[in-house]
Amino acid sequence: MIQTIRGFRDILPQDTALWQYIEKTASEILENFGFQEIRIPIMEKTELFARSIGESTDIVEKEMYTFADRKGDSITLRPEATASVVRSYVQHKMHSQDPVQKLYTIGPMFRRERPQKGRYRQFYQINAEVFGISAPHIDAQLILILNELLKRLGLSGLKAHINSLGCPECRPHFQTTLTAFLEDKKDHLCEICIKRMERNPLRTLDCKVPSCREALEDAPSTLDHLCTGCLDHFNTVKRLLDVQNVEYAVDKTLVRGLDYYSRTAFEILTDALGAQSAVAGGGRYDALVSELHGPEIPAIGFAVGFDRLAEIVAQAGPKDAPPTLSPEVFILPLGEDALEHGYLWACELAAAGIRTEMDFSGRSLKSLMKRADRLNASHVLIIGQREMEENSLVLRNMKTREQHPISMDNPVGRIVSIVQKKLNQ
Ligand code: AMP
């Protein structure tokens, strides 16, 4: 038996109703807030990610699925969506129409991480990106949108963690202070943090190794080194969240794993899956558009981890249960003649918008009725030879046991009107 690749999985039919429900809820909210959908390729040139995410990040160093294509060009399965959305914004000169663009996309990402519960090598994200707005209001709004989405999906006990990572004006000074502090603590740091000290000292702040956590407890915080512009920006974000009653905690260890962030960084944490984990994260990346050869245009975005979200929603039970896809009409033909009629009617019913199923097996009525029950069909239409000859077909409502006579003259029209009336009640 050929099985899926390690860390990859199928989303099975019993789960896709929930996935579609989450997608629909997310699209609705994002569109209400002015976002439009964009669909980007699953593969990009490797240099796009190396350049934007950063050469010395975990993702680029060890997690990307990178291949040489048949001509030897290096291509990569996207590990995240922001870089591609920025590439698209720049490539299509969207800024020349209007620098302000709000884009969202939903789809799979690929990272070769160690598979574990809730962590996959192909996982899904809902991404939202806003270009051209430097006002802190949009930072607060993105956190509010996440809150709204998660609330609408029936989640509770969520907390937004926020931090400011400074900007090119104040960050270098902070990095010098941090590096001096790290030098002092060098003996207590893990090997990876020692490497990070040179390449990306900020990343030491969210190291999960206990000895590093202890050593870094009193580490300097970006928040104490923000320039006036960054401080004002951060204070306004906090004030707006207060005004809008969005719960948050300032978390100086929140630095995010990617190089491109500046100013506001945020994550939404949940303990619904046991250990505390982030269901969404994001932040500002004001320099990325110009780094990818576009004009100097500020930007900010977030990514929601779809797999985790689906798991939590399934646990919590969504407020508006996703529709079940059981048949509205199940046709049970008895005999050759009935099979042909049933087949034609089933096609017409489905084309008319009625979810229709029929059985082709030629088995006994008893076993067909068992299957109708198993499929949770709301109506069954039994087509037997005698019923056809006597023009006495009956559509049976399986819940109310009501029986509706169906004429051979216009069976489809009559069935549609009965089923639709029932649905509208
Ligand atoms: P990131 O792009 O790393 O900030 O991730 C954003 C969100 O995507 C995280 O909060 C997770 O919920 C989710 N996520 C990241 N990596 C994985 C993975 N390997 N498997 C499942 N979900 C993931």
Inter-residue contact 346 to 331 (CB < 8 Å): yes
- Is the pLDDT at 71 greater than 70, yes or no? yes
pLDDT at residue 353 tops 60: yes
- Residue closest by Cα to atom 17 of ligand 1: 119
SS3 content of the chain, % helix, strand, coil (to 5): 45, 20, 35
Q: Which atom of ligand 1 is nearest to the CA of 278?
A: 10
Q: Is 283 in the pocket of ligand 1 (CB under 6 A)?
A: no
Q: What is the DSSP string of 282-301?
A: EEE-TTHHHHTTS-S--EEE
276 pLDDT band (50/70/90 cuts)? confident
287 band by pLDDT with thresholds 50, 70 and 90: very high
Counting beta carbons within 10 angstroms of the beta carbon of residue 23, is it exposed (0 to 12), middle (13 to 18) or buried (19 or more)? middle
pLDDT in tens, 304-317: 999 999 999 998 76
pLDDT tens-digit series, residues 365-387: 999 999 999 999 999 999 999 99
For 249, the enclosing helix (H) or strand (E) is strand 248-250
Ligand 1 contact via 111 beta carbon (within 6 Å):
yes
Question: Once rounded to an integer, what is the mean pLDDT over residues 396-401?
Answer: 95
- pLDDT of amino acid 304: 98
Backbone dihedral angles phi then psi of residue 156, each to the nearest 5 degrees:
-135, 175
Report the mean per-residue pLDDT for the chain: 93
pLDDT tens digits for 15-68? 998 999 999 999 999 999 999 999 999 999 999 999 998 887 888 889 999 999
| Token pair of 280 as six digits | 């969404």
Distance in angstroms (rounded) separating the CA atoms of residues 180 and 204: 13
Mean pLDDT for 90-114 is 97
Q: Are 170 and 260 in contact (CB under 8 A)?
A: no
Residue 338 burial (10 A CB sphere; 0-12, 13-18, 19+) = buried
Using CB atoms within 10 Å of the CB of residue 99, give its burial: 0 to 12 exposed, 13 to 18 middle, 19+ buried. middle
Biggest CA-to-CA distance, the chain: 95
Q: Give the HSE-up count for residue 297: Cα atoms under 13 Å, Cβ half-sphere.
A: 23
The count of other CB atoms within 10 Å of the CB of residue 376 is: 13
pTM summary value: 0.90
Q: What is the mean pLDDT of residues 394-419?
A: 94
d(CA 179, CA 186): 10
Ligand 1 atom closest to residue 303's alpha carbon, by position in its atom list:
6
Q: Which atom of ligand 1 is nearest to the CA of 121?
A: 19
- Atom 7, ligand 1: which residue's CA is nearest? 305
Per-residue pLDDT, 274: 76
Atom 12 of ligand 1: nearest residue by CA position: 305
Give the per-residue pLDDT at 167.
93
pLDDT of residue 425: 47
HSE-CB of 204 using CA atoms within 13 angstroms:
34
User: Tell me, what's the pLDDT at 424?
Assistant: 52
Task: Set out the domains of the chain in order of their start, with CATH numbers.
Answer: 13-170+226-316 (3.30.930.10), 329-419 (3.40.50.800)
User: Following CA atoms 167, 125, 103, 170 in sequence, which dihedral angle do they give, to the nearest 10 degrees?
Assistant: 0
Angle in degrees, CA 99, 49, 87, rounded to 5 = 25
Cα(48) to centroid of ligand 1, in Å? Answer: 19
Q: Are 357 and 409 in contact (CB under 8 A)?
A: no
- pLDDT(197) > 90: no
216/298: higher pLDDT = 298
Model confidence band, residue 198 (pLDDT cutoffs 50, 70, 90): confident
**Mean pLDDT for the stretch of residues 110-131:** 95
Residue 277 reports pLDDT greater than 70:
yes
In this predicted structure, what is the pLDDT of residue 12? 95
Segment 227-251, tens digit of pLDDT: 999 999 999 999 999 999 999 999 9
Share of the chain above pLDDT 70, in %: 97
